[in-house]
Amino acid sequence: MRNTPLLVLAVLAFVATACSGGGSTSAASSTPSASSTSVNATTALATPVSSSAPPDCAAGYLAQFSTREKLAQLLTVGVRDAADATNVVRTEQVGGIFVGGWTDEALLGSGEIEQVKQAAKVPLMVTIDEEGGRVSRVRNLIGAVPSARVTAQTMSPDEYYRATLTRGQALKNLGVTVDFAPDVDVSSQPDESVIGDRSFSDDPAVVTRFADAYIRAMREVGVGTVMKHFPGHGSGSGDSHTGVVRTPPLDAMQNVDLVPFRNLIGSGAAVMVGHLDVPGLTTPNVPASISPEAMSLLRGGSGYGAAPFQGPIFTDDLGGMAAITSRLSIEDAVEAALVAGADSALWITTDAVSQVLDRLEQAVANGRLPMAQVDASVLRMAGFKGTLPRC
């Protein structure tokens, strides 16, 4: 493939699993691997991609999209019901939809998600944040489970792995393809605080072991996982839903908040970046979710002692959390996030999708968002979803 931008060529180094039939990578050597099972091509969505791919494989995948459709593949938007979801997929070909607490339960409970998937040009990512405990969107459909904190206090990692196999299969049966979990924040906050009992522990080693069990189990059943909230919300001051959150300085996070990300960066999970102001990392008043410095820290790895991260980077919700909405419009926030280096911009409604895509097309035309960067992100998302064709 002649004249392929260098950034796209670099991405080819890790989009190949979906092209070559799948593979698996275990979590960090410091984490347990009991009950580990090899992953085949049917679970490529949750598998890290690490070998080289023929350039024509990626070129053929990218060629089916217009520029607007490529940009749409980098959006994950919350939906109200099947009609809302079908409309945004059919008209704009967004890459993913998000099922929230406000979404009509029939979308998943009555199988309406299948008609939505049929409207997509390439397989649709159906996401949810089903952590258990108080963050549970489908407890009425698959039952309730304890919070992460209670889980770590009452179960072993291997017991949690086995329980997650069952719950992951239940999510997959509903049509979910990606779960925005586990929460790998390290926290001693009270249970009902913003992180609180969503954290497995205030011990990074405990967080690592339980998050590893969750990721491995979900990978085995074919549901993608997304670790959150990079670089760590567990010691942050405040709630990003309601206002600005400031974390400890980056140096102070190295041996606590960043440890689970460092340990699990090769696990096959994607990463969600939080709306966090991080002294020593982010520019003042530019939260990590739209910060080039935060994206570079995650992507490069060397700034916190981790391997380079090759998978997709998601933002936290850009449209319903005051840490962002008090500063930027949704159009500004999505553009800033993608320009900074995120691969998928998440927000909770479909209302502004067309306006956002209009803005992103302008950003590409004006050079603010290079086409090579867009292509690289489209390929990362395709590798994560397992949507690249066999070559």
List the CATH number of the domain containing 274.
Answer: 3.20.20.300
pLDDT at 32: 40
> Per-residue pLDDT tens for 354-363?
999 999 999 9
**Domain contains 198:** yes
pLDDT at 391: 65
pLDDT at 388: 82
- Nearest-angstrom CA–CA distance, 236 and 353: 31
> Per-residue pLDDT tens for 84-110?
999 999 999 999 999 999 999 999 999
**Domain contains 380:** no
Contact 227, 260 (CB under 8 A): yes
Q: 166: domain range?
A: 66-367
Catalytic center residues: 241, 316
Instruction: List, for the chain, all residue ranges whose pLDDT scores fall below the cut of 50.
Output: 1-6, 9, 12-52
**Domain contains 105:** yes
Q: What 3 state SS string does the chain have?
A: CCCCCHHHHHHCCCCCHHHHCCCCCCCCCCCCCCCCCCCCHHHHHHCCCCCCCCHHHHHHHHHCCCHHHHHHCCEEEECCCHHHHHHHHHHHCCCEEEECCCCCCHHHHCCCHHHHHCCCCCCCEEEECCCECCECCCHHHHCCCCCHHHHHHHCCHHHHHHHHHHHHHHHHHHCCCEECCCECCCCCCCCCCCCHHHCCCCCHHHHHHHHHHHHHHHHHHCCEEEEEEECCCCCCECCCCCCCCECCCHHHHCCCCCHHHHHHCCCCCEEEECCCECCCCCCCCCCHHHCHHHHHHHHHCHHHCCCCCCCCEEECCCCCCHHHHCCCCHHHHHHHHHHHCCCEEEECCCCCHHHHHHHHHHHHHCCCCCHHHHHHHHHHHHHHHCCCCCC
**Domain contains 235:** yes
**Domain contains 314:** yes
Contact 173, 205 (CB under 8 A): no
pLDDT at 86: 98
- Give the count of alpha carbons within 13 A of 302, CB side only: 1
> Per-residue pLDDT tens for 134-169?
999 999 999 999 999 999 999 999 999 999 999 999
pLDDT at 241: 82
**Domain contains 173:** yes
Structural domain count, the chain: 1
pLDDT at 55: 67
**Domain contains 377:** no
**Domain contains 269:** yes
pLDDT at 54: 63
pLDDT at 53: 52
